[in-house]
Amino acid sequence: MTAEATTPVAPAITPVSDGISTRIISPRRLMWWKFRKHKLAVASGIFLILAYLATIFAGFVAPYDTASRTRNLYAPPQGINFVDETGQFHLQPFVYGWKMTRDLQTLSPVYAVDPTQKFPLRLFAEGEPYKLFGLIDANVHLFGVEDGGYFHLAGTDHFGRDLFSRLISGAQISLSVGIISVFLSLVLGLVIGGISGLYGGWIDNFIQRLIEAIIAIPTIPLWLGLAAAVPRDWPPLYQYFAILVVLSLISWTSTARVARGRFLALREQDFVTAARVYGASQTRIIAKHLVPNLMSYVIVTLTLAIPGIIIGETALSFLGVGLKAPTVSWGVLLQEAQKVQIIQFYPWLWIGPAACVVSVVLAFNFVGDGARDAADPFSR
Amino acid sequence: MTQPIASADPILAIRDLKKHYGGKKHWSGAVSKAIRAVDGVTFTIYEGETFGIVGESGCGKTTLGRCIARAHDPSGGEILYTPEGEKPVDLAKLSQRQLKPYRQDVQMIFQDPISSLNPRMTLLDIIGEPMVVNGLARGKEVARRVGELLERVGLRAEYMVRYPHAFSGGQRQRIGIARALALNPRVIVCDEPVSALDVSVQAQILNLLQDLQAEKKLTYLFIAHDLGVVEYLCDRVAVMYVGQVVELAETSDLFARPLHPYTEALMSAVPPANPRAPSKPRLLEGDLANAANLPPGCHFHPRCGYCVERCRTEEPELREYSPGRFVRCHRAEELKLDGVAELVEASA
Amino acid sequence: MLNYAIRRSGQMLVTVLVISVIAFVVIQLPPGDFVNSYLATLSGGNIITQDAIIALRSQFGLDENVVVQYWRWFTNLLQGNMGISFQYQRTVIDLLGERLPLTLAITIPTAIFVYVVAIPIGIYSAVRQYSPMDYLLSFGGFIFLAIPNFLIAIVAIYVSYRYFGGSVGGLFSPEYELAPWSLGKALNMLQNMSLAILIIGTGGIAATMRVMRGMLLDELSQAYVETARAKGLSEWRLILKYPVRVAVSPVLSTIGFVLPALISGTEITATVLNIPTTGPLLLNAVRSQDMFLAASIIFVLSILTVIGTFISDLLLVWADPRIKL
């Protein structure tokens, strides 16, 4: 027991003795401690929580509406400055405006920093109206500039739409797809893996062959094939769910395998035998003895599966068979950035969504790594 | 060594118990080889005694124990249990639902202190669940009883909020014993309960088991491979080889003068207490017989130093050599086998 | 060994069967049947005539129930008749024959590339654990694991445009596109393919390297390694001779997962880079709901995976004496 100066948790305890207080360390707490040791995982976890919060409060966090157009088409990102051109330091950061000219040969807009236009940044600024959670009217944004100014942290696209706002909007789709899809495959995987591991015999054999077959099929071609089934003319919400289902249909296999493996191993454990001997019903054994002992492994598998799903949706939308405009997801944004001049001259339009995907995927990978270390708190 | 509680009432009669694995027909028509883990075991356990079963790893003793506790379903044979004041019931034939009332009477403690306790449950849950499942107690009553049990096995009641990982091997075995006692059983199948413990801790647990037996009038089926432990604790012992009982006798008789060559070999392997005394272990050649591919005749004959032609062809029966002594060997009358001399002297 | 091969072949057949069912489901999913889709796109000057349509209907039993359709399709498939692509106005097998070799020519070298690079890196990383190089490699591994192939491809295109003024993509650079075969053209093709191989391989290398590192680390802590050291073997020699051989085995067995991933990566990267493999073909087929083509591609690619895994399993069993048959 740790010799921490904390008060005992369970009231039923009579203090042991000599000033050493005890704290009941459950296996869950042990796992949490082990996870905490993995600094990168913790940092990634915080990042992800912030990212998901941003998607919930999307209207608030984004300075502009997803679809509103401004005058500055194809404007590059504006940097945040604290020091102005005269070398003077301002506590309140600001951005410079653009002076736009046209390249006479290509007719594309060229932007130069215009020191005469300074737009100070403000927190909790008033801006375009939006509906928080789609219900409450509001117009306060996390940050913004005063009237007449503009602030495009990530640049604008060919309609002058603020990319940063669109990225946050895209995050709503891309991130939610990951979570919901993984939840579906959790349920599928647990049930199927459980049946496979607990009943054995020909059911197990059949399910294993099925899983092998699914794994053998290259993922993206299979997704492409399934995505083809989604009718073009369905409303965006249905398409969203259809894509969700398609992605889940493949990813349940890894959960099922892990669940099956653990069920097989746990079946032989003495505490399960003991439960049988004192008359516990099969249901009770599954619920109270088997499932709690495999949840940690399943969670690890799921955490590591989310990046695959997010990349999957991005890839499908990028190829044009997933979600489509006007739905905004990172994949759709990447798809819109697929013209040659864009790639070459306005790289922020694909760097933005790409960076978002990569950072979220990296974060999930780190968290998954930390979770994997923590899942077996008694190892070593 | 305790005096056996003399009681002539049989409490568990095992008749020709069998547990076979495999032997099933594959859809292609092939039949897989049956593994006869328990191959026709017969003996009777009397109320209040400690009945030992010894043998090498893989001889089927663990499977036997689990069949008797109905953790597994036997492939054949009878398990005749006599509840208090009632007629014997064949547990082997009962379905899970019919079995439920009898489960309380026959409980089990396990060998591995780590896997025998659910790491995700507190001691309160672990020891209390049997009570809850069988409707013996609820809510606060459970906590009260669990506290009592913990104290009885030598732990403190306040430990019930803790998790198994906080305890040592010996303490975990005590928890396992407390769990087995939760239902006030009459018979406890002890599957090598001290094999995984340090020697000093072994002694404590064994003494605890003895105390509990005297206090609660328990009957033990004690499975072990350590002859020293068996000699200390058991009233009668059965020696198993590859799924069959090859010898059955009272402990002192068995150790003083074994009748079966296999028993003799096991005895000779017990190191003498005097390190300077020469030990002459009778080494067995070859490996344990393969349960899926048994030799013809006596299963032990390829390794037996006293093997004759008859042993190679004719399988011996388990027969009563003298009252209460059984042996499965053609030559039992002729052989003069050595036992463990010192143990005989000590008990004299 | 032979027994094992036979048993595995049996399993393989079952897997192939299941895959064929899945592929067939893919065909059936879009609303309407193939012929309707085709008719909807009819325009003048078709090579495929009405008679061919009727033949198609009867061949594939398009008017009958699903089970019959499946059976017809599967038996036809085995005989090499995979249906017709109305989009391209050609038989599927024709199209596949054109595109498949290039897919293989990219995927197989990539697979070799992945293992040839990842295993040494993994070994080094494990032996010199916690060294700066190890951190660098592990970090790099994480990054490349996170970046999907097609993004790397986009970055490659960008970089080449921005800094090399060149155009990346396609199997041949513009100047060689229509030129007759020559050494220069061949080299150019290899160059473009190499870029593709490099891009596709990164994810596989990252994953395999980590597995190798993990497996070897487990082995290095074993007692037999210390024994060998105590007996005086030189460090690298003993590492390569003992723990590496043990650790490599499970790494090689991952090919069952790596191969589908590589094929998948090839398809999408080739689409981005405009290399004429089955990738762009599949994408177009999906877009226009040209389902016979789409399903056949999926089926054939999967068979490749299954065969590849089978071969590697045999090699593994032959090479690793621990595996009991």
Do C159 and C104 lie in a common domain? yes
Is C16 in the same domain as C64? yes
Tell me the shortest Cα–Cα distance from C229 to chain A, in angstroms: 24
Kindly state the average pLDDT of the residues A110-121: 77
A249 reaches B (C-beta below 8 A): no
- Kindly report, residue by residue over C106-145, the tens digit of the pLDDT: 899 999 999 999 999 999 988 888 888 888 888 888 888 8
pLDDT beyond 50 at A174: yes
Quick check: B139 and A312 in contact, CB under 8 A?
Answer: no
User: Would you say residue C269 lies in a domain?
Assistant: yes
Structure tokens given for C169: 């993509």
Residue C56 lies in a domain: yes
B70: chain A residues, CB-CB within 8 Å: 277
Instruction: Give CA–CA dist A272/A274, Å, rounded.
Output: 5
DSSP code of A148?
T
Distance between CA atoms of A252 and A262, rounded to whole angstroms? 16
Amino acid C39: pLDDT: 65
In a domain, C213, yes or no: yes
pLDDT for residue A159: 82
* Subunit contact A289:B66, Cβ cutoff 8 A: no
| Amino acid (one-letter) located at C193 | M
Q: How far is CA C203 from the centre of its chain?
A: 13
* Residues C211 and C281 occupy one common structural domain: yes
Low pLDDT (below 50) residues in chain B? 1-6, 347-348
- For A318, the closest chain C residue by CA position comes to C150
pLDDT greater at residue A279 or residue B287: A279
C33 and C113 belong to one structural domain: no
Are residues C135 and C271 located together in one domain of the fold? yes
Q: Looking at residue B184, what is its pLDDT?
A: 93
Does the structure show a pLDDT above 60 at A30? Answer: yes
Question: Does residue C109 belong to any structural domain of this protein?
Answer: yes
The pLDDT, as a whole number, for residue B29 is: 55
Q: Which subunits have 3 or more CB–CB pairs within 8 Å of chain B?
A: A
Q: Write out the two tokens for A379.
A: 């190892």
The CA distance from B153 to B147, in Å, is 10
**DSSP E strands: which ranges in A133-248?**
136-145
Strands (E), chain C: 84-85, 90-91
What pLDDT is attached to residue A2? 42
> What is the pLDDT averaged over residues A97-122?
77
- Surface-to-core class of residue A124, CB atoms within 10 Å of its CB (0-12 exposed, 13-18 middle, 19+ buried): exposed
A183-197, A203-217, B125-139, C39-53: range with lowest mean pLDDT: C39-53
Pick from B262, B216, B227: nearest CA to B242: B262
Phi, psi of C292 (to 5 degrees): -60, -45
3-state secondary structure of A88: coil
**Which residue from A13, A30, A276 is facing B71, i.e. has the nearest CB?**
A276
CB contact under 8 A, B163 and A277: no
Across the interface, whether the CB atoms of B182 and A271 are under 8 A apart is answered: no
With beta carbons under 8 A apart, name residues in chain B contacting A25: 163, 166
Mean pLDDT of A218-236: 82
To the nearest whole angstrom, how far is the Cα of C236 from the nearest Cα of chain A?
A: 27
Q: Cα(C241)–Cα(B139) distance, rounded to whole angstroms?
A: 62
Closest CA to C199 of C106, C118, C105: C106
- Give the bridge partners for A123, in sequence order: A143
Q: Based on the domain organization, do C76 and C118 belong to the same domain?
A: no
Task: Please report residues of A whose CB lies closer than 8 A to that of B111.
Answer: 270
Gap between the Cα atoms of C145 and A362, Å rounded:
8
Q: Which residues of chain A are within 8 Å of residue B126 when distances are taken between CB atoms?
A: 271
* Token representation of residue B228: 């020293």
**C103 shares its domain with C54:** no
Which 3-state string (H, E, C) describes B257-308? CCCCHHHHHHHHCCCCCCCCCCCCCCCCCCCCCCCCCCCCCCCCHHHCCCCC
Task: Please indicate whether, in this complex, the C-beta atoms of B158 and A277 are within 8 angstroms of each other.
Answer: no
Name every chain C residue with its beta carbon within 8 A of the beta carbon of A318: 150
User: With 60 as the cut, is the pLDDT of residue A260 above it?
Assistant: yes
Q: Is the pLDDT of residue A7 over 50?
A: no
Please write the tens of the pLDDT for every residue from C2-11: 778 888 888 8
Which of C32, C61, C83 is where one domain is finished?
A: C83
Length of chain C: 325
Residue C78 and residue C15 in one domain: yes
Strand positions, DSSP E, chain B: 10-22, 34-46, 50-54, 76-81, 89-90, 106-109, 187-191, 219-224, 236-241, 244-250, 319-322, 325-327
Structural domain count, chain C: 2
Q: Which residues 57-96 on chain C approach chain A with CB closer than 8 angstroms? A: none
Whether B174 contacts B208, CB under 8 Å: yes
* Cross-chain residue pair A25–B110, CB shorter than 8 Å: no
| Interchain contact, A215 vs C287, CB within 8 Å | no
For helices B199-216 and B169-181, what crossing angle results, to 10°? Answer: 20
The rounded radius of gyration (Å) of the Cα atoms in chain B is 21
Q: Does residue C296 form part of some domain?
A: no
User: Would residue C314 count as lying in a domain?
Assistant: no
C311 contact partners, CB below 8 Å, separation of at least 6 = none
Mark whether C and A touch (3+ CB pairs within 8 Å): yes
Amino acid identity of C149?
N
**pLDDT digits over C268-320, tens only?**
888 888 888 888 888 888 887 777 888 888 899 999 889 888 888 888 887 77
Question: Which residues in C lie closer than 8 A to residue A347 (C-beta atoms)?
Answer: 158, 162
Length of chain A: 380
Which chains does A contact via 3+ CB–CB distances below 8 A?
B, C
For the segment C164-221, what is each residue's pLDDT rounded down to a tens digit? Answer: 766 666 777 766 667 777 787 788 888 888 888 999 999 889 989 988 888 888 888 8
Determine the distance in angstroms separating the CA of C29 from the nearest CA of chain A, rounded to an integer: 5
Residue C292 lies inside a defined structural domain of this protein: no
The CATH number given to whatever domain includes residue C231 is 1.10.3720.10
Q: Which residues contact B70 (CB under 8 A, 6 or more apart)?
A: A277, B79, B91, B99, B103, B106
Asked if the Cβ–Cβ distance from A1 to B134 is below 8 Å, we say no
| SS3 of residue A112 by DSSP | strand
Within 10 angstroms of residue B273's Cβ, the number of other Cβ atoms is 11
| Best of B73, B122, B161 to mutate (most A CBs within 10 Å, chain A) | B161
Nearest Cα neighbor of B73 from C87, A276, C80 is A276
Are B306 and B284 contacting, i.e. CB atoms less than 8 angstroms apart? no
Report the pLDDT averaged over residues A149-173. Answer: 84
pLDDT-above-90 percentage for chain C: 6
Instruction: Look up the ipTM and state it.
Output: 0.85
**Domain ranges, residue C71:** 2-83
One domain, residues C24 and C137: no
Q: Name the pTM for this structure.
A: 0.81
A13-27, A283-297, A350-364, range with greatest mean pLDDT? A350-364
Report the gap between the CA of C282 and the closest CA in chain A (Å).
7
Query: CA of B177: which chain A residue's CA is closest?
Result: A274
Q: Kindly state whether residues C61 and C185 are assigned to the same domain.
A: no
What is the pLDDT, as a whole number, of residue B346? 52
pLDDT tens for A70-89 read 777 888 887 777 777 777 77
Helix (H, G, I), strand (E, B) or coil at B219: strand
- Tell me, yes or no, whether C251 and C110 share the same domain: yes
Q: Which residues contact C182 (CB under 8 A, 6 or more apart)?
A: none
> Is the pLDDT assigned to residue C47 strictly greater than 80?
no
pLDDT of residue B2: 41
Measure C46 CA to nearest chain A CA, in Å.
Answer: 25
What are the DSSP calls for C207-263, one per residue? Answer: HHHHHHHHHHHHHHTSHHHHHHHHTT--HHHHHHHTHHHHHHHHHHTTHHHHHHHHH
Mean pLDDT of A179-200: 88
Average pLDDT over residues A168-182: 89
Could you write out the DSSP letters of every residue in A126-144?
EEEEEEETTTEEEEEEEEE
Give pLDDT, residue A10: 40
pLDDT, residue A79, reads 77
Find residues 25-54 of chain A whose CB sits inside 8 Å of chain B. Answer: 25-27, 30
Q: Does one domain contain both C74 and C107?
A: no
C89 falls within a domain: no
Q: Cβ–Cβ of A270/B183 closer than 8 Å?
A: no
Q: What is the pLDDT of residue B4?
A: 44
B144 to chain A, any CB pair closer than 8 A? The answer is no
Summarize pLDDT for B140-166 with one digit per residue, the tens. 999 999 999 999 999 999 899 999 999
- Report how far apart, in Å, the C-alpha atoms of A145 and of each of A92, A102, A334, B187 are: 11, 26, 28, 81
Residues B107 and B178 sit within 8 Å (Cβ to Cβ): no
With an 8 Å CB cutoff and a minimum of 3 pairs, decide whether chains B and C touch.
Answer: no
Which residue among A12, A25, A30 sits closest to B158, beta carbon to beta carbon?
A12
**Among partner residues A210, A226, A315, which is closest to C29 by beta-carbon distance?**
A226
A106 touches chain B (CB under 8 A): no
